[in-house]
Amino acid sequence: MSDPIDLHDIHDRLDVKRASLSGSSFDDVNLSNSNFKNTNMSVICVNGANLSNARVIDANLSNSRFEHVNLSNVSIDKANLDGMTINGVSVAALFAAYKAQTSHET
């Protein structure tokens, strides 16, 4: 592994391809309007980040944990929700309860 490259107090655009940046640290960084394609972000920690208006397509979020997050107006489509919980409640159980409730209302 080579010595770390320090980028401090710069305002520039990077074009990074076929690179390993594992073990890197980003603090007080603006990545808005950036594009991540074919990127391995497994075992990352995102803390104090603004991900509003983010779009995540074809991603593997298995075994991820989200704590203290604002999910207002979030849309999830075409997702595998096996084993997913929200505040400790199984999403499958929530859907089953919703389906049972709505079937009694008709």
Residue 41 lies in a domain: yes
Residue 40 lies in a domain: yes
The pLDDT assigned to 92 comes to: 94
- Apex 67 CA angle, 37 and 95, nearest 5: 85
2: confidence class by pLDDT, cuts 50, 70, 90: confident
Residue 99 lies in a domain: no
Tokens linked to 11: 């305002």
The pLDDT assigned to 60 comes to: 95
Beta bridge partners of 86: 89
Residue 49 lies in a domain: yes
Residue 24 lies in a domain: yes
Report the domain count for the chain: 1
Domain of 64?
1-80
Residue 90 lies in a domain: no
Residue 26 lies in a domain: yes
- 53-95 pLDDT tens trace: 999 999 999 999 999 999 999 999 999 999 999 999 999 999 9
pTM, rounded to two decimals: 0.74
Please check the confidence at residue 3 and state whether its pLDDT lies above 90: no
